[in-house]
């Protein structure tokens, strides 16, 4: 079996694929400068006579499956296979593999870094220093930029999959109280408390959103829930912007109903003016969708994908019993 790999893959991972399947064709989307479109992907699959595909960004549509009936599996190096027509794959008995925990460590580290940056006023203090505004004694900056510690804070998670749990593990070093809302996950860690969504918003010092984009989650965090937050609480969103109702968030920030927000995702990417209205607010710390942007993430997805494919291929399990439905995807995200 030849496997077409368009996802970024390290040499060790490609060697493992060769040992497992016998051959591979490597055409990373990075070499193309962008994801392959439908026609390009079909052409590559036919040219390489591939029976397996490992992609990251390319759209694997119904037409791809129809034009390349030889496909026996699709691997997606992402937290969810949102770029694959899973229904079309299921209809043909083609398993779809993905890598739900690949960026958990990267997101957890950025979460901690940005939270400290926000609490300690790091960015405004740096700008103040560069602008040569330190014209008083040594206590001037000390008093102007005094902030808060993470230690001892109550952190509430909305969604407690791989990313949320990894953040919780890192927070143990800060002696934080971790509580979460997730109807599909029940933590075995006695230090993590499962609570209602209302409790997360009304009692947390930091509310962190970790929800996939689905019909059920779009606009799920609305005015009601944001209105429950404490005035000195912070909202963090590293998942998908659309799960938070935009107007409710703008109102909460502009009217100082909450202390502020740390955002890594936006309603339009690249941002439009409506996004910049939020980004430029003084109580917002915004980064351009960087939470999963570490070099190590690619090594993680190679490891996770190859382990899953090795198990599947060695068992010769070419059937797809109840391929991942929406609730299963949410539980694994």
Active site amino acids = 240, 269, 289
Q: Considering only CA atoms, which of 214, 154, 204 is closest in space to residue 184?
A: 214
d(CA 58, CA 311): 24
Q: Would you state the structure tokens that stand for residue 166, as one six-digit string? A: 């990894």
Question: How many whole angstroms from its chain centre is CA 256?
Answer: 27
d(CA 304, CA 79): 11
d(CA 193, CA 179): 5
Q: Would you state the structure tokens that stand for residue 67, as one six-digit string? A: 């034009």
CB distance 97 to 74 below 8 Å:
yes
Neighbouring C-beta atoms of residue 273, cutoff 10 Å: 7
The owner of tokens 């505004």 is 133
Instruction: Give how far Cα 253 sits from Cα of 156, 243, 277, 322, Å.
Output: 19, 17, 11, 43
Phi-psi region of 249 (alpha: psi -120 to 50; beta: other; left: phi over 0): alpha
CB distance 249 to 201 below 8 Å:
no
For residue 75, give the 3-state DSSP assignment. strand
Pairing mode of beta strands 96-98, 23-26 = unpaired
């Amino acid at each position: 079996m030849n496997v077409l790999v368009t996802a970024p893959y390290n040499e060790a991972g490609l060697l493992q694929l060769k040992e497992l399947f016998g051959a591979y064709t490597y055409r990373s989307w990075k070499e193309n400068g962008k994801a392959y479109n439908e026609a390009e992907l079909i052409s590559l699959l036919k040219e390489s006579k591939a029976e397996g595909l490992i992609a990251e960004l390319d759209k694997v549509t119904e037409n791809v499956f129809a034009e390349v009936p030889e496909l026996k599996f699709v691997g997606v190096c992402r937290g969810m296979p949102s770029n694959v027509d899973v229904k079309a794959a299921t209809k043909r008995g083609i398993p779809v593999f993905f890598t739900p925990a690949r960026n958990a460590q990267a997101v957890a580290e950025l979460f901690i870094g940005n939270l400290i940056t926000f609490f300690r006023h790091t960015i405004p203090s740096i700008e103040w220093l560069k602008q040569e505004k330190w014209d008083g004694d040594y206590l001037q900056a000390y008093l102007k930029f005094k902030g808060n510690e993470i230690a001892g804070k109550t952190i509430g998670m909305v969604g407690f999959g791989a990313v949320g749990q990894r953040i919780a593990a890192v927070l143990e070093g800060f002696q934080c109280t971790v509580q979460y809302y997730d109807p599909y996950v029940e933590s075995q860690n006695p230090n993590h408390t499962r609570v209602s969504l209302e409790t997360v918003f009304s009692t947390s010092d930091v509310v962190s959103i970790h929800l996939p984009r689905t019909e059920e989650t779009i606009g799920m965090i609305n005015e009601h829930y944001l209105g429950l937050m404490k005035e000195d609480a912070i909202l963090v969103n590293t998942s998908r912007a659309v799960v938070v109702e935009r107007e409710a968030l703008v109102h909460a920030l502009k009217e100082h109903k909450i202390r502020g927000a740390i955002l890594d995702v936006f309603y339009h990417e690249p941002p439009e003016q409506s996004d910049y209205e939020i980004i430029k607010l003084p109580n917002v710390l915004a980064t351009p969708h960087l939470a999963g942007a570490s070099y190590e993430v690619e090594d993680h997805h190679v490891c996770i994908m190859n382990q899953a494919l090795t198990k599947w291929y060695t068992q010769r399990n070419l059937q797809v019993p109840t391929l991942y439905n929406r609730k299963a995807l949410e539980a694994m995200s």
